């Protein structure tokens, strides 16, 4: 899983959003901003479920 940060390609808009994707980063190509412009990927990072990082044995 990846946590991607997208930003609108229109500088005047620059709307950011975060999207969690499984593996098909290509799917982000279809992502469009509400203003009508396309999104570009700003950042991609590994994403883990929060509960995985829950209590570790002492």
Q: How many CA within 13 A on the CB side of residue 7?
A: 9
Total binding residues toward Zn ion, as defined by CB under 5 A: 7
- By CB under 5 A, tell whether 8 contacts Zn ion: yes
- By CB under 5 A, tell whether 35 contacts Zn ion: yes
Angle among Cα 51, 53, 55 to the nearest 5 degrees reads 90
Choice between 1 and 40, CB closer to Zn ion: 40
- By CB under 5 A, tell whether 6 contacts Zn ion: no
Residue 46 and residue 37: Cα distance in Å, rounded?
26
Interacting residues toward Zn ion by CB under 5 A? 8, 10, 13, 15, 33, 35, 37
């Amino acid at each position: 899983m990846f946590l991607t940060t997208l930003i609108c390609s229109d500088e005047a808009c620059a709307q950011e959003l975060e999207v969690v994707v499984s593996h098909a980063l290509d799917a982000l190509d279809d992502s469009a901003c509400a203003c009508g412009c396309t999104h570009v990927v700003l950042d991609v990072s590994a994403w883990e479920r929060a509960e995985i990082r829950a209590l570790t044995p002492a």
